[in-house]
Structure 1
Amino acid sequence: MALTDEAITRIRGLIQSGELPPGARLPTEQQLSHQLGLSRSGVREAVKVLEAARVLDVRRGDGTYVTSLAPRLLLEGLGVAVELLRDDTLLEVMEVRRMLEPVATGVAALRITDADVDRLGGILEDMRGAADDAEQLIRYDAAFHRTVIAVTGNETLTSLLDGLSGQTLRARVWRGLIEGGSAHVTLNEHEAIYLALRARDQLLAQASALIHVNTSESWLRTVLAAAPRQHR
């Protein structure tokens, strides 16, 4: 492991220094091993780790390349990690969302275009039409929030919040809302966010998003409290 860790650090250093920029092809395993002064097995394992982290792209029969290193690519694994979190840790995820999402929504209010407003309005209508269809509501809910955050133009923030809003987490909240007969409450909260964004009102958009995240967190607490202890 020590040799692998050293190889990862050395390869990462080549990328960070610009010697291996995004899109660059790595030397062969033998060449890289000689260049770094490390064993081929250590280099091989390091490449596997960096491939899993989406830093490298191994193309069979072609070579190994540095990826685009775009935030959406490097942060893609966050969503997988959130899906694996235990119930008691999911509330920490909601806390992070409460710190980030309202501020991001406020920024979106300053940058939103008429086309973005129309797109959000269409998603909101789809949500209303989905009524008590949990699967549809979950899909439209994800699209609504992804669209709002994407308006900020901050790809890192968009990827981060998308990862924190895992499919399983979203599904548990929505099913709790539907079973509790409160889906209309969160639909109204989505409309409040939409209206604030349409008005380009930063403070109102931020406040509306905070209320919405708080509602989601409250319902998650309710769902977790009712869950069998073995799932916690």
Structure 2
Amino acid sequence: MALTDQAIDKIKAMIVSGELPPGSRLPKEGELALQLGLSRSSLREAVRALTAMQILVTRQGDGTYVSDLEPQRLLENLSFVSDVSRGATALHLLQVRRLLEPQAAALAATRATEEDLAALRRILDEATAAGDVEEFIRCDIDFHRAIADLVANPVLSAILDMLSTQTQRVRILRGTEAAQAIDHAHREHEAILAALRDGDAQLAAAAAAVHVAALERWVRDAGGH
């Protein structure tokens, strides 16, 4: 194992053990290097890597701190995987989404209030009035995010956000007959909302599964691009 990897593992171990809790300031570089038995250069490389992962945050003139370690922060970098995914990788991400999103819709059906349903209705009305693909996709993201948020599980919301970014959705639509794909998406969104309005968890799950399966089919038909 490279020295930098060893340094990363040692700092992670301090965080996992609670020795460095979220929001805590790292000891001074010399002290921490001595404590961990590392050279300063290895420690610096480890800190840079952990900062890129958003496990650590550097405050100019104040030092380096453990981040809040919230799932949304830690999963943020993984959205890059979705942004660049093509071919089999894009399909794999959609398959994971198809496992998770129907369950989110099913739970949302048991929790949605009249206010929640009205907000979802407004999003779909905005999607219908969208003037271009990008605007439609912004509404699409808002719709699915709002449903996931009804589950009140920030980890689930963060994972679903990561699985399907705006960049990926734009690429999928532009790889298809966009007008036809958007028309299908409108109908599938309406079916999901109808199931949520009825409080029918099984129907909501089925409608969400059909919707994501259609996206998989478009990706396959477009050769994964």
On whether the aligned pair clears a TM of 0.5, the verdict is yes
Deviating more after overlay: 94-103 vs 1-10: 1-10
RMSD: 1.7
Moved over 6 A (4+): none
The answer to whether the 8 A contact 1:117-1:198 is kept is yes
Question: Where does structure 2 lack aligned partners over 5 or more consecutive residues?
Answer: none
The answer to whether the 8 A contact 2:173-2:181 is kept is no
The answer to whether the 8 A contact 1:83-1:166 is kept is yes
1:145 and 2:141 aligned: no
The answer to whether the 8 A contact 1:22-1:67 is kept is yes
User: For residues 211-230 of structure 1, what are the structure 2 equivalents within 5 Å?
Assistant: 211-224=210-223
Name the amino acid aligned to 1:114: E
Residue 63 of structure 1 is matched in structure 2 by: 63
CA distance in 2, matches of 1:214, 1:125: 23
CA distance in 2, matches of 1:189, 1:86: 24
CA distance in 2, matches of 1:94, 1:190: 17
Deviating more after overlay: 115-124 vs 175-184: 175-184
Change (3 A) 1:179 1:15: closer
Residue 163 of structure 2 is matched in structure 1 by: 164
The answer to whether the 8 A contact 1:172-1:223 is kept is no
Deviating more after overlay: 199-208 vs 110-119: 110-119
Percent of pairs identical after alignment?
47
CA distance in 2, matches of 1:44, 1:6: 12
Question: Where does structure 1 lack aligned partners over 5 or more consecutive residues?
Answer: 228-232
| SS in structure 1 at match of 2:65 | strand
TM-score (normalised: structure 2): 0.94
1:134-169 Cα offsets, whole Å, 9 max, x none, are 111111101111111111111111111111102232
| SS in structure 1 at match of 2:58 | strand
CA distance in 2, matches of 1:86, 1:129: 29
Residue 78 of structure 1 is matched in structure 2 by: 78
Name the amino acid aligned to 1:23: G
Residue 108 of structure 2 is matched in structure 1 by: 108
Residue 36 of structure 1 is matched in structure 2 by: 36
| SS in structure 2 at match of 1:111 | coil
Residue 90 of structure 1 is matched in structure 2 by: 90
1:136 and 2:160 aligned: no
Name the amino acid aligned to 1:207: A
Residue 201 of structure 1 is matched in structure 2 by: 200
| SS in structure 1 at match of 2:206 | helix
| SS in structure 2 at match of 1:69 | coil
TM-score (normalised: structure 1): 0.91
Deviation at 1:118, TM superposition (A): 1.5
| SS in structure 2 at match of 1:26 | coil
